[in-house]
Amino acid sequence: SQQGEEDPQALSIQEGENATMNCSYKTSINNLQWYRQNSGRGLVHLILIRSNEREKHSGRLRVTLDTSKKSSSLLITASRAADTASYFCATDATGANNLFFGTGTRLTVIP
Amino acid sequence: DVKVTQSSRYLVKRTGEKVFLECVQDMDHENMFWYRQDPGLGLRLIYFSYDVKMKEKGDIPEGYSVSREKKERFSLILESASTNQTSMYLCASSLWIGGSNQPQHFGDGTRLSIL
């Protein structure tokens, strides 16, 4: 499978702490994307990092990409209860015409 | 903002019925996708379309078909619904630029129950 694999499957933290989620994949990629899904809703795109980039920031989000290890991480700083959601990585594999989604990390932020 | 609208949030059908799930996007995106999402299995691609009347099978096309007669509309059809098709169905659309897949925009999903 070309799917990304997120780690951990579930994460529970206190409000104000940082949350780190990891994604590993198997093939060469054009880009890697992170999405968020609130319970019972569709996915929302958060950030895209290209294969030639190593780090990217967007507000409280920081994404890193290590193509030699075929891995990425998503860091959410100063978490809030509203960050409670599932987070998915998706890879744009070279030569593919669709994204491959992982199974997600369920993040719970306790107020 | 891109809006992807799925015709129903919740749907209950009976085994053997022909079921239509409709999806409309308003941003002139070339690509449209249908996924199903089940606990522990993540998102699995059923079909996608990169142009009007064009379609490609995804990972789990069996028991499904699709139709794309207009650029903005992509329909998923369950030819003869079965209980193992009970799931959350998600539609998405995206641009295709320079040989790479751009971010996908999702609808809110249809939770389909087959009795």
Nearest residue on chain B to A34, judged by CA atoms?
Answer: B103
Q: pLDDT by residue (tens digit) across A1-48?
A: 456 788 899 999 999 999 999 999 999 999 999 999 999 899 999 999
Chain B residues near residue A42 by CB distance under 8 angstroms: 4, 90, 92, 106-109
- Quickly list DSSP for A40-75: TS-EEEEEEEETT-SEEEETTEEEEEETTTTEEEEE
Quickly count: other Cβ atoms within 10 Å of residue B33's Cβ: 26
User: pLDDT for B2-60, tens place per residue?
Assistant: 699 999 999 999 999 999 999 999 999 999 999 999 988 889 999 999 999 899 999 99
CB-based contact B58:B47 (threshold 8 Å):
yes
For residue A2, the 8-state DSSP code is -
Best of B43, B87, B90 to substitute, by most chain A Cβ atoms within 10 angstroms, is B43
